Amino acid sequence: MIPVRAYFRLFAKYLRPYRRKASLLAIVLFATIALQLANPQLIAEFIDRATEGAEVGELVPLAVAFMVIAIVHQVLLVWATYLAEQVGWSATNQLRADLADHILHLDMGFHKANSPGELIERIDGDVTALSNFFSSMAIKVVGNGLLVVGIIILLWAESWVVGLAITVFTGLTFLGLVRLHGVTVPWHKAIRATSAEMFGFIGEQVDGREDVEANGATAFMVNRFDRIQHKWLPEVVRGWTGWALMWSASMGLYFFSLMIAFVLGAYLFGIGTLTLGSVYLVFQYIGMAHRPIEEIREQLVDLQKAGASIERVEDLFATESRLVQRDERLLPDGPLRLSFEHVTFSYDDEAGDERVLTDVSFDVAPGRVVGLLGRTGSGKSTIARLVTRLYEPQHGAVLVGGIPTWDIQLDDLRKRVAMVTQDVQLFRASIRDNLTFFDDSISDARLEEAIHRLELDEWLSSLPDGLDTMLESGSGGLSAGQAQLLAFTRVFLRDPGVVVLDEASSRLDPSTEALIETAVDHLLENRTAILIAHRLATVARADDIIILDGGRVIEQGDRVALAADPGSVFSHLLVAGMEEALA
């Protein structure tokens, strides 16, 4: 069954801004239909007059009119193609932008469950499959349908016997094509899904190529690639089988129509019901009907692909973020209080995942720096993600500035709460664009002031072209330490009230270690901060300490007081060596 409502919803929404051009396209296409129907009439008239012995002077105007109509028809077809491509790409580009915007506003759980390669395929691959749908599919289906109807009406005008025979057979064939369309849509949907899985797999392997090769996992990954290919092949074969069925049906109609025209034309001409020109007209119209029927068949194949893509696009739009916004409050300026109130969290509560945090409570006064310690897997990074509201706790509340995170306007929260991790995302752009995230409103003077405040002038001068130095994506051609300096400058430009450093100094290189330590000191001035670290030097700048074990807070308090207490866990870490004790 053709999902007409789904087609119409998407069609109406994304063609509405281009309705004038779409209307013009419809007019041009319908004009070409009228010209197509008119020209055979001229030829039939030419044949009848010629066989009746008409003078050349009477035939020339018919020939000239035929040529003029043919030329105008070709010009209109070129114009229609131009309009269709312009409308189609404009509409699909807007759909891509809306999908990308929707995905970027989904919670981190969605992005963990869907690889970047799969999302790229769904945003670009599925939408590209809709480009013909938006450009001219519906208009061509309707237009070619009207052309077939016009041909049948004219055949009825020539002979009701021919008209009735062609009408019945054409109706039965169209019914069969529609039924076949309904059967093959799920086949194309399966192809699109496996295609997305393949691109997601390739994206993961390209991103983790070094780890795969270094750990000897190449054969395993090739085997996974082979399994996806084995799954994909029969789905593609099934999809092409649907195309073959549609092609066979349309060709069967064409040849059977020609047979009907030959038999009935010869009989009716023999008994004098049809003239020679009328017999030609019947053959010409039946031949003309083959092309629009073929186009309708091709459009139905595109509708199969579009139907599968539309379902996947609508599924993506229907995916809602788990981050429910209850209010739109704004945070005050300056350092912000940070509180966890009986927070319990697991990454997939519905699947029954093990809890990462259990009844975690602590309070960080404005301007205080907290060192967050614990073994790997104890929940430190999860706390950082909850503070920045990448996830929502299942129980309890996270408060920033005394306001629950779900009551804070999300854009304001992300502006006033900043996080720096050990992996810094760089873009294929200049240092300037990487620092400002492509915000042209930030002047070079403000950038240079931030760099000066962080005492990174020497670092900036070491770059070959200063702020105009071009970086590549990924590592960007910078060392890990230099990338961290860039990340600190990004945060400083935002002037947040809360800073979370998630092991941001764990990948230092000797050339930038001193610069990073100085930058961190300036970054934490008059700001509330959480430092997640294994290094003693990083924790030494903390005012308070919170220690996690198994997702629970086992110790918290003033750093100096805990260090002086020989019975405290923190004191034991200092004696044993933090790196070894927390390994």
**234: amino acid identity, one letter:** P
Please report the pLDDT score of residue 292 as a whole number.
76
Measured distance CA(420)–CA(454) in Å, rounded: 15
Please report the pLDDT score of residue 369 as a whole number.
93
Indicate whether 205 pLDDT > 90: no
Measured distance CA(204)–CA(24) in Å, rounded: 45
**232: amino acid identity, one letter:** W
pLDDT in tens, 446-495: 888 888 877 778 777 887 888 888 887 655 567 777 778 888 888 888 88
Tokens standing for 551?
């997702």
Please report the pLDDT score of residue 224 as a whole number.
81
Indicate whether 322 pLDDT > 60: yes
pTM of the model: 0.64
Phi and psi torsions of 549, nearest 5°: -150, 120
pLDDT in tens, 383-393: 999 999 988 89
Measured distance CA(287)–CA(159) in Å, rounded: 17
How far is the CA of 541 from the CAs of 369, 498, 530, 550, in angstroms? 8, 16, 11, 25
SS3 470: strand
Please report the pLDDT score of residue 497 as a whole number.
92
Ranges of each domain in the chain: 4-318, 338-581
Superfamily of the domain at 4-318:
ABC transporter type 1, transmembrane domain (1.20.1560.10)
Please report the pLDDT score of residue 561 as a whole number.
93
Please report the pLDDT score of residue 524 as a whole number.
86
Please report the pLDDT score of residue 283 as a whole number.
73
Which one-letter DSSP state was computed for residue 379? S
Say whether 503 is catalytic. yes
- Highest mean pLDDT among 161-170, 254-263, 448-457 belongs to 448-457
Residue 336 banded pLDDT, cuts 50, 70, 90: very high
**CATH match of 338-581 with 3.40.50.2300:** no
Percent of the chain with pLDDT over 90: 15
pLDDT in tens, 431-455: 888 888 888 888 888 888 888 877 7
User: Looking at 503, 513, 517, 580, which residue is catalytic?
Assistant: 503
Phi and psi torsions of 488, nearest 5°: -65, -40
Please report the pLDDT score of residue 509 as a whole number.
62
